[in-house]
């Protein structure tokens, strides 16, 4: 009952934000696990170089992420009158996530010499927070 009372005390804007955050968490969590899993399996078991495996994982997850985030995570947020602008901005944010993940892969498996699973940790806990903020404010805002 306390949870319902707390939700009722939130402003409409904060309830909308909370809903988006929950939907983004579910969708983004799914997409992140697909991407991180594709990276790890490809790098660990297929013998693909870690950075190349990250490119493959990016290609898989960017398509899934666009469809799910645009139709569910940020539904009803912002206008959808300029699809070309939204798509190009989504691609730019996806490139930011790709660069972040590539940096994690390179640093953790290259100079630090860690195993292929090390980059999965920041891929799952850092990159999604950055992309949520960018998607909400700039892509679907």
Mean of per-residue pLDDT scores for the chain: 83
Tell me the pLDDT band of 104, cut-offs 50, 70 and 90: very high
Measured over the CA atoms of residue 66, residue 70, residue 71 and residue 73, the dihedral's sign is: positive
Q: Give the pLDDT confidence score for residue 22 in this predicted structure.
A: 83
Q: Give the pLDDT confidence score for residue 39 in this predicted structure.
A: 94
pTM of structure: 0.69
Look at residue 44 and tell me whether its pLDDT is greater than 90: yes
Domain residue ranges of the chain, discontinuous segments joined by + = 20-139
């Amino acid at each position: 009952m306390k949870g319902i009372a707390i939700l009722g005390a939130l402003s409409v804007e904060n309830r909308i934000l909370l809903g988006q955050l929950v939907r983004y968490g579910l969708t983004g969590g799914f997409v992140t696990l697909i991407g991180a899993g594709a990276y790890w399996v490809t790098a660990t078991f297929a013998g693909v170089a870690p950075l190349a495996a990250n490119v493959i994982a990016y290609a898989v997850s960017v398509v899934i992420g666009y469809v799910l985030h645009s139709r569910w995570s940020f539904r009803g947020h912002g206008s959808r009158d300029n699809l070309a602008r939204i798509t190009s901005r989504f691609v730019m944010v996806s490139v930011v996530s790709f660069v972040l993940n590539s940096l994690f892969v390179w640093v953790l498996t290259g100079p630090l010499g860690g195993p292929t699973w090390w980059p999965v940790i920041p891929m799952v806990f850092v990159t999604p927070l950055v992309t949520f903020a960018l998607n909400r404010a700039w892509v679907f805002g």
